Amino acid sequence: MEADFDSLIDLFSEFALFEKLPEKMTNTTEQMKLEKEYFNCFVAETDKREIVGYVTWFFAYYTWTGKSIYMDDLYVKPAYRGHGIGTKLISKVIETARQTRCNKLRWQVSSWNQPAIEFYKSLGASIDSTEQNCDLILM
């Protein structure tokens, strides 16, 4: 998977632009190589091995529910949306959560991203508008 880091960094930047937050994307291929033990990702590729979508995730522990997976990003290039790629990617994370006996899968969705909200609701997800993100940047 390390061979895919350059392509993934490009997609991470594309996703940050889609989220209207390009300035927040500071990750690099070099950083990913140094921190690869923390990186979990599934990708969707074309027949020519071009990565057109990805989902990143990690194990977490929530005091109220216990062992869980946090899905950090799910992104599919615009030209490839509507073909079930996002469904296949999130299904892989759900399968991983079940196989590793997690109690919950958690992720965020931007309040303005109505297509994603509808997609997640169609999967049976409940969307909580009570909590807000808190980031303390340490670098």
List active site positions: 120
Q: For residues 43 and 4, is the Cβ–Cβ distance under 8 A?
A: yes
- Residue 106 CA: distances (Å) to CA of 17, 34, 53: 23, 26, 19
Q: How far apart are CA 86 and CA 23, in angstroms?
A: 25
The residue assigned the tokens 């290039």 is 77
